[in-house]
């Protein structure tokens, strides 16, 4: 199998969703192919960096936004009652 064919398998491997029948083949290939190993490591790092970045960015809902939403919800409750 050419290297290109392994790329999507690497993605599934990272998700632990790779079919058993491909697993041994991919692991053997990774142990022999520097390019695919570099692709695997950099793909993994891309995901980790992105995940950590967005988790760091998580914030509380600003009070004014939340108050505004509840205000509109209460208008809707009243409309439904009518």
Partner 1 sequence: MEQTSTKALALLKENELIERAKNRDNAAFEELVRRNQAKIYNLGLKLLGNKEDAADLLQETFINAYYALPKFEGKSAFSTWLYRIATNNAFMKMRKKKIPLVRFETEKNDSDQQQVTFNIPDWSNDPRAHLKNEELKMLIEKSVDALPGKYKTIFILHDIEGFSTEEISRMLNLSISAVKSRVHRSRMFLRDRLSQYFHAGFKQGVNQ
Residue 82 CB, shortest distance to partner 1, in Å, is 13
Residue 58 C-alpha from the chain's centroid: 15
For helices 20-32 and 3-14, give the axis angle rounded to 10 degrees: 120
Q: Helices in the chain by DSSP H: which ranges?
A: 3-14, 20-32, 34-57, 63-81
- CB of 24 or CB of 70, closer to partner 1: 70
- CB of 24 or CB of 77, closer to partner 1: 77
Residues that bind partner 1 (CB under 8 A): 3-4, 7-8, 11-12, 15, 17, 34-39, 41-47, 49-62, 65-66, 68-70, 72-74, 76-77, 80
């Amino acid at each position: 199998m050419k290297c290109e064919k392994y790329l999507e398998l690497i993605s599934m491997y990272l998700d632990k969703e790779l079919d058993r029948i491909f697993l041994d083949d991919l692991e053997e290939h990774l142990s022999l192919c520097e390019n695919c190993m570099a692709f695997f490591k950099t793909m993994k790092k891309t995901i980790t960096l992105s995940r950590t970045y967005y988790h760091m960015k998580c914030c509380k809902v600003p009070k004014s936004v939340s108050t505004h939403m509840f205000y509109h919800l209460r208008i809707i409750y009243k409309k439904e009652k009518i």
